[in-house]
Amino acid sequence: MHKPVLLEEVLKFAQKNRPRSVLDGTFGRGGHSRAMLEAMPQAKVYGIDQDLAAVEHAQKEFAAEITEDRFSIQHFNFHNVASLKGAPPEGFDVILLDLGVSSPQLDEAARGFSFYHDGPLDMRMDQTLKYSAADVVNTWPEVELNDLFIKLGEIRRPQRVVRAIVNDRKEKPFVTTRDLASLIERVEGWSRKGHHPATRFFLALRMAVNNELSGLESCLPDLMRALSPSGRLIIITFHSLEDRIVKYAFKEGWGLGYPLFKKVVVPTREEESANPRSRSAKLRVFQRGVNNDVRDKYADKKSGYKKPGAEEDSGD
């Protein structure tokens, strides 16, 4: 099962203006989609996911909503949102991205995301992609592997592990998650306490295989353009670099809108203890349209115009 993260907060920000169309860009197991369908009976939810298993799950578990035309599902990567077919002509009132992997992806050994389950060293969210984590580990030059683990894994000194990878792969390519995890345990040492030393190496590989950072960065203006004139883009990130990309893009806005609030929304203590996966979650909201605060400040100076009551969410 996959517990949807920051669900109450997502519903709160999504419900404003009684949305009629919602794009769930990371359907997963549909936790957020299900809750939005229930909380917003006037809305149609358009689900997309790049994982064929997620699409199959949606077709089965959301069959009734598909028949009622309250829900649709497509195998699609939100990085390509500009070419999404079947979107409402006026744009989406809400777009939600809940980034990263789902619990079933992590738990299924055959997907190769986790060093706790032995499986092929795969990590492709989209099974139709050509390159897997094994291709990265077995073919990338030493300098590029170091760079990857430093930048995406935020590992200070990956060099000993990378040197061992490059030596070992001359004898025998890495095939399984255990092959790689055992090498990292051997080089870094692990006393079965605390974080497994492979955690950040696996995270970096997953992000590279699925082109997570650059794909997100380049599609943010397209996601903003895919909103209706007062639509909202809600993004939940789990990695500091991802959050930084979202924060700066929302601030930049390209004349399309503005961040609804400056401070980031994080899970409550209760949610963190009920769902440890939520611990690194950060939520930001982009509001399409003109920022009334800026307009009202200008009007204040010019004509003594008094700003009407502050927007409900603006202090969050």
Ligand X SMILES: C[S@@+](CC[C@H](N)C(=O)[O-])C[C@H]1O[C@@H](n2cnc3c(N)ncnc32)[C@H](O)[C@@H]1O
Judged by the rule CB under 6 A, the positions of this chain that interact with ligand X are 2, 4, 26, 28-32, 48-51, 54, 77-79, 98, 100-102, 125, 215
Provide, rounded to whole angstroms, the least separation between the CB of residue 248 and ligand X.
19
CB closer to ligand X out of 80 and 139 = 80
Residue type, 154: E
Provide, rounded to whole angstroms, the least separation between the CB of residue 79 and ligand X.
5
Looking at beta carbons, which residue is closest to ligand X? 28
CB closer to ligand X out of 3 and 178 = 3
How far apart (Å, rounded) are the C-alpha atoms in residues 292 and 298? 10
Closest CA to 247 of 233, 262, 232: 262
CB closer to ligand X out of 146 and 210 = 210
Backbone angles phi, psi at 297, to 5 degrees: -60, -40
Provide, rounded to whole angstroms, the least separation between the CB of residue 13 and ligand X.
14
Provide, rounded to whole angstroms, the least separation between the CB of residue 169 and ligand X.
28
Q: How many CB atoms are closer than 10 A to CB 300?
A: 12
CB closer to ligand X out of 127 and 314 = 127
How far apart (Å, rounded) are the C-alpha atoms in residues 235 and 293? 22
Place of tokens 């299900």: 34
The torsion defined by the Cα of 141, 145, 147 and 150, in degrees rounded to 10, comes to -160
Strands 71-75 and 282-288: unpaired
CB closer to ligand X out of 176 and 280 = 280
CB closer to ligand X out of 184 and 233 = 233
CB closer to ligand X out of 112 and 158 = 112
Provide, rounded to whole angstroms, the least separation between the CB of residue 99 and ligand X.
6
Angle at 295 between CA 290 and CA 299, to 5 degrees: 160
Provide, rounded to whole angstroms, the least separation between the CB of residue 149 and ligand X.
21
Provide, rounded to whole angstroms, the least separation between the CB of residue 50 and ligand X.
4
Backbone angles phi, psi at 190, to 5 degrees: -155, 125
Backbone angles phi, psi at 259, to 5 degrees: -70, 135
Query: How is the beta sheet containing 71-75 ordered, strand by strand?
Result: 71-75, 44-49, 21-24, 92-98, 227-237, 282-288, 257-259
Provide, rounded to whole angstroms, the least separation between the CB of residue 25 and ligand X.
6
CB closer to ligand X out of 7 and 183 = 7
Which secondary structure element, helix H or strand E, spans residue 211, and what is its range?
Answer: none
How far apart (Å, rounded) are the C-alpha atoms in residues 4 and 26? 11
Burial tier of 171 (Cβ tally within 10 Å: 0-12, 13-18, 19+): exposed
